């Protein structure tokens, strides 16, 4: 996604597209395979064991949300380094980037689930509290992924303050904050608080991922401008991500609620941060033709994220999600997700991008101003 506020880095769009597709495969493979094996509604008690680290990437594909969060903080930090942030412009651009498509799906959720409407729920949803149980329940297809957009917005509200503090106290502040928030989560765990809820669904659990994204951005600005290469970190980071997800899955994965939630999301984000640095270094060598396809996916990644669950629900309600079958339920789910769900979602997402997202994206303006320009004004 090109922005007038910092130099364009195509590899970031590659990663956004990958993250969006990973969420799609996560939901598709989980829900379709569960449907084939059970007649009861899906819940977290059904959590399959990965046979190898590669399958854990899909079975624990919720990790893509963590990747999105790290990337968001990375982008804003890179753009804000050696520049001053215009708060009004920053929030205006964030609204134009995320809010209109969000409102579109919220309206659909209300339209198709009028029995769940309440004014209190509407206020929770539109004022960035969609991760709250009181928010509008537009049915899983339309509003299920809204929680992460709410958490993202909680970070947007904090970012201007965080970047000011970093400029004042240097990068050393960020590890200290990570330690502070971990200590707070650990204390809450000792008090019997539900750590899965706190860590997975709220900014208190996710803040480490944004802080790690900021650290990654600061590292990028300091070292990439010197032309240093970190290609090997792409492979190191990938091994760390796959290993961490496999171990996480073997200990119950996202379907269990135990002590791991106090620290898991921090570990997860750290692995992705290493991979991001390596991939951005490696991405400088990609052929132009390959890059264009990956950039296109990244461009419509936000639409993919919001559209995919609607299409999946539509297909499953008509048994069109199991047109292609093999003996193994997970294999059937993977096949139909790849050949039916993914092409439909990408096609529809291209439409929502051009019709809903892009007309507002072109209205974004520069909100980053070089410090020296302000001093001389």
- Among candidate residues 78, 90, 87, 70, the one with its CA nearest the CA of residue 166: 78
pLDDT digits (tens, 9 = 90+) for 105-149: 999 999 999 998 899 999 999 999 999 888 887 777 999 999 999
Percentage above 70 pLDDT, the chain: 94
Contact 237, 277 (CB under 8 A): yes
Mean pLDDT, residues 69-90 taken together: 91
pLDDT band at residue 3 using 50, 70 and 90 as cut-offs: low
Q: Is the pLDDT of residue 53 over 90?
A: yes
Place 321 in a pLDDT band, splitting at 50, 70 and 90. Answer: very high
Distance, in Å, from the CA atom of 63 to the CA atom of 253, rounded to the nearest integer, reads 11
- In sequence order, what are the residues at sequence separation of 6 or more whose Cβ sits closer than 8 angstroms to the Cβ of residue 366? 4, 5, 89
Domain ranges of the chain: 10-376
Q: What is the pLDDT of residues 4-33, one digit of tens each?
A: 556 678 899 999 999 999 999 999 999 999
Looking at residue 140, its pLDDT comes to 76
Q: Residues 148, 72: contact at Cβ < 8 Å?
A: no
- The CA distance from 254 to 59, in Å, is 9
Checking if the pLDDT of 71 tops 90, the result is: yes
Provide φ and ψ at 47, rounded to 5°: -140, 100
* 325 half-sphere exposure, CB direction, 13 A CA radius: 6
Alpha helices (runs of H) in the chain, residue ranges in sequence order:
10-37, 53-59, 63-80, 87-112, 119-126, 139-143, 146-169, 173-190, 195-201, 203-224, 232-250, 264-282, 288-299, 301-317, 329-336, 342-352, 358-361, 371-376
The model's pLDDT over 264-304, given as tens digits with 9 standing for 90+, comes to 999 999 999 999 999 999 887 887 777 788 899 999 999 99
How large is the average pLDDT for residues 188-215? 94
- CA-to-CA dists, residue 20 to 24, 143, 240, 261, 290, angstroms: 6, 16, 20, 23, 18
**DSSP assigned state of 338:** I
Q: For residue 353, what are its two tokens?
A: 């991008």
147-197 pLDDT, tens per residue? 999 999 999 999 999 999 999 999 999 999 999 999 999 999 999 888 889
Match 């493979």 to its residue by tokens. Answer: 29
Report residue 357 as tokens.
């997202």
Distances, alpha carbon 324 to alpha carbons 25, 26, 243, 319, 336, in Å? 16, 18, 31, 11, 6
Provide the pLDDT for residue 335: 97
């Amino acid at each position: 996604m090109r922005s007038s506020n910092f130099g364009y880095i195509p590899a970031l769009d590659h990663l956004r597209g990958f993250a969006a597709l990973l969420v799609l495969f996560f939901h598709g493979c989980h829900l379709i395979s569960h449907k084939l094996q059970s007649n009861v509604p899906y819940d977290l008690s059904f959590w399959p064991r990965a046979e190898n680290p590669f399958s854990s990437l899909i079975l624990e594909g919720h990790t893509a949300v963590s990747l999105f969060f790290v990337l968001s903080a990375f982008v804003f930090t890179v753009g804000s380094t050696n520049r001053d942030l215009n708060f009004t412009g920053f929030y205006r651009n964030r609204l134009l980037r995320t809010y209109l498509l969000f409102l579109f799906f919220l309206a659909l959720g209300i339209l198709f689930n009028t029995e769940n409407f309440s004014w209190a729920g509407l206020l929770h949803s539109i004022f960035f509290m969609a991760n709250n149980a009181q928010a509008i329940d537009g049915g899983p297809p339309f509003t299920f992924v809204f929680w992460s957009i709410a958490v993202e917005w909680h970070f947007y509200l904090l970012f201007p303050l965080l970047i000011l503090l970093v400029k004042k106290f240097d990068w050393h502040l960020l590890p200290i904050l990570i330690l502070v928030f971990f200590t707070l989560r650990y204390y809450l765990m000792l008090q019997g608080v539900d750590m899965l809820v706190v860590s997975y669904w709220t900014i208190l659990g996710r803040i480490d991922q944004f802080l790690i994204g900021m650290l990654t951005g600061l590292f990028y600005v300091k070292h990439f401008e010197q032309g240093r290469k970190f290609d090997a970190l792409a492979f190191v980071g990938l091994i760390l991500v796959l290993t961490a997800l496999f171990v996480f899955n073997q200990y119950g994965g996202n379907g269990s609620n135990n002590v791991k939630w106090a620290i898991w999301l921090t570990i997860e984000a750290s692995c992705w941060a290493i991979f991001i640095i390596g991939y951005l270094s490696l991405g400088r060598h990609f052929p132009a033709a390959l890059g264009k396809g990956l950039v296109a996916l990244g461009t419509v990644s936000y639409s993919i994220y919001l559209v995919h669950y609607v299409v999946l629900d539509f297909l499953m309600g008509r048994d069109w999600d199991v047109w292609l079958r093999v003996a193994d339920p997970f294999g059937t789910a993977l096949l139909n997700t790849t050949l039916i769900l993914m092409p439909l979602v990408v096609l529809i997402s291209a439409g929502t991008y051009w019709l809903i997202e892009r007309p507002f994206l072109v209205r974004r303006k520069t909100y980053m101003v070089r410090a020296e320009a302000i001093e001389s004004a």
